[in-house]
Amino acid sequence: MHLSPAVSINKLSFAYKNRLALQEVTIEVNQGEIFGLLGPNGSGKTTLFRILSTMALPSRGQASIFGYDVGNDSEYVRRSIGVVFQSFALDKKLRVRENLFRHGQLYGLTGSLLRSRIESVLRSLGIWERKEELVETLSGGLQRRVEIAKGLLHQPKLLLMDEPSTGLDPGARIELWRILSQLRNEQKTTILLTTHILEEAERCDRLSIMDRGRVIVTGTPQQLKKSIGGDIVSVVPFDPERLTKGIRRTFKLTPKLVDGILHIEKKNGHAFLPKLVQKFPNQIRSVTVGKPTLEDVFIKYTGHAFGGAELK
Amino acid sequence: MTRTLLLPAWSLVVRELVRFVRQPARVVGIIASPILFWFVIGSGLGDSFQLPTAPPSIQYLEYFFPGTIVLIILFTSIFASISIIEDRREGFLQGVLVAPIPRSALVLGKVTGVALLAVIQGFLFLIAAPFILTNISLSIILKTTIILFLIALGLAGLGFALAWRMDSTQGFHAIMNLFLIPLWLLSGSLFPQAGAAGWISALMTINPLTYGVAAVRSILYDFQGDYTKDMPDFILCILITIGFAGLMFVLSLLAARQREQGTRLVELSNAQGGR
């Protein structure tokens, strides 16, 4: 059975004044998958998130959710999405339970149905015991769970999440992914999330890599990594230019220089490594060989490093 | 309609009330200054004040009482409605904006919630009325409260419409001092229209708050005596107060309906690349 796409984005552009934040973005998200938008800060993913969550209208192009246009049919779109914001949409002066109660009423839920939904969603996120606490007294990780609980309360078919693991420690991050997988498997919820964390992107069913407002490549993490021919040999040279020339001449390979490191795509990298070191014994400070990562994919398609210090 | 408009609006009203109860310091700070104004200006001016239309027997503390309640309403409704800026900055608002509710429910919820807060605080001061004014009855206090609510709806709507597009409360202070305080100064709260210079009197005539203050004054004095002479017709006052609230609601709604729109791209190539 072929399902219509959960999200369909077609040649979407968005400009703030005359700065283009999104350029001709085209993405399709299938129902029931966890789809990631991976990109460094400023790549346009939050702008895209704002358009999909009906908060902003595009300059050009279309985006639709379950066939409904995010601009013209925002009423339908809003009914079918749950939104988890990077900066929590919680009232910190309210208790956890009160936040969910207020939110549920915005979605037309009342009475015992609302109360039982609140209980089940808080239990599944493991914060039922904290229901009477003021949100401002909770840790960032727990506030994140309340925000997710809020996004799930009305049982949306599509969950939109902007940088969901911001501020989570590694343990909480693993827990978040357990919850997301459970949602997809048990409720068949489609999940679209933005992230700048490479390990997080690895866990998505499919992802689009974004850079400077464009979608560079889309696929499963495995497909994307397979697009690199073999292993990645990373060399820290003393003189990048000299070594680049040397490698090009000797091995007929074209290293990519990114942040002072030469990246070389090579099948059987472990066999290549000793040859390289023997050929240029005095030009190499250090060298590693590894299977391609999404960061290597990013570098391959953009020619520059993934981003700033926050990635490490 | 109940489920799509009133239920979400009610939800937002309750939220305002709960927040109010959780932050008692906010309450004291806001109603203390009008009461201080009232006491100091009222006592200071004392016998120096004379109504142009009445014998000198009227004390200024008494004249200034209705104006002080309206000032409390002004302060509380404006300060509470600009919390929409905080709602936006702290993130709460974005959750409301993506909920499947009409913008009218958002405006109705916020404005009504704020107006209720203002009235509660005005009412606290109104309880002092029997000590200041003669002929005060429970029915007068209740009627006054209703009029205060109508005034508060208008002012809350005004605050909402002004604050919607702002991203910080900093800019609001200038608006408060240059626009909202004069609105109150020229409403008949501080001095009667009858004795004012021509151009001031003209400004007072076009100030919608003048009619709210006049309505409060008329009710509080039970339409009797020297206090309410030369006041606009009571029915007119009520109609203008309701009309003002309605107009402000519409302005707030128009503001809240705007969705951020990406700049139209005439020529894509003219634009710069992304960050």
What HEC string does chain A produce?
CCCCCCEEEEEEEEEECCEEEEEEEEEEECCCCEEEEECCCCCCHHHHHHHHCCCEECCEEEEEECCEECCCCHHHHHHHEEEECCCCCCCCCCEHHHHHHHHHHHCCCCHHHHHHHHHHHHHHCCCHHHCCCEHHHCCHHHHHHHHHHHHHCCCCCEEEEECCCCCCCHHHHHHHHHHHHHHHHHHCCEEEEEECCHHHHHCCCEEEEEECCEEEEEECHHHHHHCCCCEEEEEEECCHHHHHHHHHHHHCCCCEEECCEEEEEECCHHHHHHHHHHHCCCCEEEEEEECCCHHHHHHHHHCCCCCCHHHC
Residues A143, A233: Cα–Cα separation, whole Å: 42
**How confident is the model at residue B225, as a pLDDT?**
65
The number of beta carbons lying within 10 Å of the beta carbon of residue B182 is 12
Size of interface A-B (CB pairs under 8 A): 137
pTM of the complete model: 0.87
Q: Which string of DSSP letters, residue by residue, matches B163-207?
A: HTT-S-STTHHHHIIIIIHHHHHTTTSSS-GGGS-HHHHHHHHH-
**Chain A contact present for B2, CB below 8 A:** no
Token pair in block for residue A104 = 């549920």
Check whether A309 has a pLDDT greater than 50.
Answer: no
Contacts of A212 in chain B (CB under 8 A): 273-275
**How confident is the model at residue B171, as a pLDDT?**
80
**Distance of alpha carbon B248 from the chain centroid:** 11
Give B171-219 pLDDT, tens digit per residue.
Answer: 887 888 888 889 999 998 888 888 888 899 999 999 999 999 999 999 9
- Give the mean pLDDT of B122-142: 83
Give A9-47 pLDDT, tens digit per residue.
Answer: 999 999 998 889 999 999 999 999 999 999 998 899 999
Give A51-106 pLDDT, tens digit per residue.
Answer: 999 999 999 999 999 999 999 999 999 999 999 998 889 999 999 999 999 999 99
- Give the mean pLDDT of A157-174: 87
Higher pLDDT, B132 or A190: A190
Higher pLDDT, B202 or B82: B202
Give B26-63 pLDDT, tens digit per residue.
Answer: 767 777 878 888 888 888 877 777 776 666 566 788 88
What pLDDT band is residue B275 in, cutting at 50, 70 and 90?
A: very low
Contacts of A98 in chain B (CB under 8 A): 18
Residues B87, B97: Cα–Cα separation, whole Å: 11
**How confident is the model at residue B272, as a pLDDT?**
46
What pLDDT band is residue A311 in, cutting at 50, 70 and 90?
A: very low
Token pair in block for residue A86 = 């990077």
**Distance of alpha carbon B200 from the chain centroid:** 21
Check whether B135 has a pLDDT greater than 70.
Answer: yes
State how far residue B249 is from chain A, nearest Cα, in angstroms.
20
**How confident is the model at residue B267, as a pLDDT?**
55
B91 vs A21: CB contact, 8 Å cut-off? no
